[in-house]
Amino acid sequence: METDNLERVVVLIDGPNFYNMARIMAIRVDHLKFINLIINGRRVIAKTIFCKLPHSNSIRGFHRKLKRKCHLKVICGQHINQDIDYLLREEIEYFSNRDDVDTIILVAGDGGYLEIIDHTHKIHQKKIEIIAIKEVLNHDYFGNGFKLIDLRELRPFIIEDILPRKKRIGPTGSKRNKKAKSSSIRNPRARPRRKSRR
């Protein structure tokens, strides 16, 4: 029987912190590219993003996209202004006690997770990777045996691909224009547009 020698990782993302870093870098992140890049061929035990309670349909749709496209588990707070840090700390504590986890990858830079991360590393002997940009990375994370990854170095590889406007599909895309043309052909009563005089 072959044994699985792949490193077993858990990815935990502080959503508000992550989106603040993306805003500072002035990019829209492709979450699927980002997840695949930081996993780097390792075996995934879990990958979770923690977000505040969505207050609009567009954000709810974005969360559904994360679940469907990136297979991310989305955990939200109970109300809009609730701090989600404690939810993430509980998840770190849960995975620190599991024997099938080798490494915890934390995408966050604030110092609110230092105590639980340090305990996980020293007591439970888990490897810790912290991904953040230097502007928000708490200096207390240095010198504790954690692997610190600068998110700016990953920037060229995680930017979302934006299609040219003429190729987009949607309210202003080519498919909608074709449908509009075909509907005008079917309707003989449709008035033809007058050409503007120059």
The per-residue pLDDT for range 20-32, each reduced to its tens digit, is 999 999 999 999 9
* Angstrom distance (rounded) from CA 88 to CA 106: 10
The distance from CA 95 to its chain's CA centroid, rounded to whole angstroms, is 20
* Angstrom distance (rounded) from CA 160 to CA 48: 20
User: Which CATH number is correct for 8-163, 3.30.470.20, 1.10.3720.10, 2.40.50.140, 3.40.50.1010?
Assistant: 3.40.50.1010
The model's pTM: 0.77
Instruction: Give residue limits of the domains in the chain.
Output: 8-163
Token pair of 16 as six digits = 């508000």
What is the layout of strands, in order, in the sheet containing 147-150? 73-76, 43-51, 8-14, 103-107, 127-132, 147-150
CA 131, 134, 136, 137 torsion-angle sign:
positive
More confident residue, 82 or 125: 125
114 confidence band (pLDDT: 50, 70, 90): very high
Q: Dump pLDDT digits (tens) for 150-198.
A: 999 999 999 988 655 544 444 444 444 555 555 545 555 656 566 655 5
